[in-house]
Amino acid sequence: MQSIAGVAPSGTVSLTETFVGGVGVGQGVLTFRGQKHPFKLIGTVIGPGSLSRVEVAGDVYKLNNLPDFPGPYAQGTGPVGLETGTISNLWLQNKAGVIMHLKGTSSGVTLSLGRDEIVIEMSQ
């Protein structure tokens, strides 16, 4: 949060992801410079597994060029244990320094060690 203090969002993103057994697949849309860019994603919950669905949307920060958006994103440490359907509040960052702040809902049950990762690939 502190790394984006006073920084205006570069765009917005929405995504839906379904997890089964600790691996998730999904899709989303990045809105950047007035253009919509669809993408696919694969995610993991570090831990033994899950059966859940996540629907989130939010702002993208520090995105200067579209090629900086795809790739792996990670969330820092979170709570360890059993997560049940709740409100999601995710902060994800990639190696290019792009930050996504996503809020939404999740349903189902996830046994997590407190770290989420996703890999984004732009759709053709």
Asked if residue 89 lies in contact with residue 56, where contact means CB atoms within 8 angstroms, the answer is: no
The helix/strand/coil state of 86 is strand
Residue 28, number of CB atoms within 10 A of its CB: 21
The whole-number average pLDDT for the span 43-65 is 78
Cα–Cα dist 22/46, whole Å: 7
pTM for the full model? 0.80
pLDDT digits (tens, 9 = 90+) for 14-50: 988 876 666 678 899 999 999 999 999 887 655 555 5
Task: Label residue 5 by pLDDT band (50, 70, 90).
Answer: confident
pLDDT, residue 77, reads: 45
